[in-house]
Amino acid sequence: MSTVGAAFRLARAGWVLVREGVVSALPGEELSGLPKFGWRMARLFTRRRALAYKRGDRLAKAVVRLGPSYVKLGQFLATRPDVVGNDMALDLALLQDKMHTFPQAEAIAAIEASLGRKIGELYASFDGAVAAASIAQVHSAETVHEGVASRVAVKVIRPGVRRRFFHDLESYFLAARLQEKYIPSSRRLRPVEVTETLAQTTKIEMDLRLEAAALSELGENTKDDPGFRVPSVDWERTGRDVLTMEWVDGVKMNDIAGLAEAGHDLKAIAANLIQSFLRHTLRDGFFHADMHPGNLFVEADGTIVAVDLGIAGRLGKKERRFLAEILYGFITRDYLRVAEVHFEAGYVPRQHNVSAFAQAIRAIGEPIHGQPAETISMAKLLTLLFEVTELFDMATRPELILLQKTMVVVEGVARTLDPAFNMWKTAEPVVGDWIAGNLGPRGLLVDARDGAKAMLALARQAPDLAVRTERLSREIDLMAEHGLRFDETTARAIGKAEARYTRSGRLALWVIALTLLYIAWRIF
């Protein structure tokens, strides 16, 4: 029955996308056979008023009709241009995470259930919602500590949102499995794995304790950074369904007129934003991955305050070195070194030729050097780079794609503040300092120290490794003598799972087909 419900929800979502003109806005002229027939039918069923909207507006209206989980799905897919294509990813990135507020009484009930205390014990005052998104909404409140009153922001999870997401995730998994089974060309994109990543990301975002931990970590990383900070967390009033943090008084970064009226230096703010983002990425390997202007405030002294850290990105040391050497290689026009870094990091399979890959890198880099520095986009450069690496079988790297998406957004905000923004000149101090510290003599000493620690840890594990190696050797000998065998229980479980999977897929297709026939009958 769960599969039947998921199929009905999936059919409804498809119908909404058709009616709002999202499907008809896709490039279908190059299709053939059944897909092109389906695209033409979608054009017939599109609402007439939807034809007047651009593709991005059609998508936004469809997502609003489908509900909050589809807003989150769209924002997640915006980080995966390898799955949905660059044009669609850009449209999805523009989706606004703004929803209707829910009643204050429900917010109070969620807070009291999460923290186990009455609202009057937690806050001196608790006001109405000031903002609402797909997963939570924010209230203004006041706390009193040692006789001193402080204004705070209280983020509360939407009632029932977890159940709604769970049901919609069933539909996403059904669609992914059907896609893998019946569209072989899509298997390289691993739709089921993509859906699993979405499920895990959403689970993390729906536990506000984890967002509080991310704010705390980023706050510690940036406590000595000039001109950037995040709000402090009130841990006493924070739980799974509620996050209480410092109230931020400032001008939102999407209010350009307000920033200018407050006397802020827009060029300085743009430079500070980019340098802060690169500093977090290269130095700490932990960055705010949703830095759109609605999540950024500028205080009276020019300090940037970032809020809403539900989505965060991490880069390991190898990925940070990869990024820094790429940027430095493009600056110095050392395309062979850029290519070698890809092979050293294991991103491009060894069967490819390094020189041929360097030639492809040169095709990206050379046009850049003939342009004024202020017209060169670092985000666009990374986008082109990832497009080229696909030709050389570079596997999808989710952490690099999230970085690329965030850099596109941050650079776009900076250029909104300063149309003549010079990305390379602004980034040079941060990138140069990181390269000097990590790729120069100082970096060699750090690598040697880390290597010594790793060797010491390995030596301590030597006795255990020897025992495990001996056990593995015996098991391999037994396998070579008797072959690999499943016990009766395992074989029976595999057979049942395969039968259930086949029945579920067929049942889902019948439900979708019958639903579409019913819709067509109602229309005609």
User: What value does the mean pLDDT take over residues 288-294?
Assistant: 85
| 225 belongs to the catalytic site | no
Per the listing, tokens 């969620």 go with 110
306 sits in which H/E element: strand 304-306
| pTM for the model | 0.73
User: What value does the mean pLDDT take over residues 484-512?
Assistant: 60
pLDDT at 372 over 60: yes
pLDDT at 48 over 50: yes
Per-residue confidence band for 19, with pLDDT thresholds at 50, 70 and 90: confident
Which range, 13-27, 140-154, 357-371, 437-451, is most confident? 140-154
Q: What percent of the chain has pLDDT over 90?
A: 25
> Between β-strands 286-288 and 312-314, what pairing exists: parallel, antiparallel or unpaired?
antiparallel
Which range, 87-101, 272-286, 305-319, 406-420, is most confident? 272-286
pLDDT given at position 455: 63
> Between β-strands 228-229 and 304-306, what pairing exists: parallel, antiparallel or unpaired?
parallel
Give the number of C-alpha atoms closer than 13 A to the C-alpha of residue 296, restricted to the C-beta side.
28
User: What value does the mean pLDDT take over residues 255-282?
Assistant: 92
| Rounded-to-integer distance, Cα 389 and Cα 343, Å | 11
Instruction: Please provide the average confidence, as pLDDT, over all residues in the chain.
Output: 79
pLDDT at 142 over 50: yes
pLDDT at 500 over 60: no
CA of 382: how far to CAs of 78, 367, 402, 431, in Å? 16, 14, 12, 15
pLDDT at 447 over 70: no
Q: What is the pLDDT of residues 449-473, one digit of tens each?
A: 565 665 666 666 767 767 777 777 7
3-class DSSP state of 347: coil
DSSP-derived secondary structure letter, 186: G
Count of CB atoms situated within 10 Å of the CB of 97: 20
pLDDT given at position 298: 95
Q: What is the pLDDT of residues 176-234, one digit of tens each?
A: 888 777 777 666 667 787 788 778 777 888 899 999 999 999 999 999 998 999 999 99
Per-residue confidence band for 518, with pLDDT thresholds at 50, 70 and 90: low
Least confident residue range of 86-90, 318-322, 326-330, 369-373 = 369-373
pLDDT at 68 over 90: no
pLDDT given at position 305: 96
Q: What is the pLDDT of residues 110-139, one digit of tens each?
A: 999 999 999 999 999 999 999 888 888 999
| Cβ-proximal residues to 366 (8 Å cutoff; 6+ apart), any chain | 333
pLDDT at 485 over 70: no
pLDDT given at position 501: 55
pLDDT given at position 419: 85
pLDDT given at position 1: 45
Per the listing, tokens 């503040």 go with 417
pLDDT at 145 over 50: yes
Residue of 91, 234, 241, 290 marked active site: 290
pLDDT given at position 517: 58
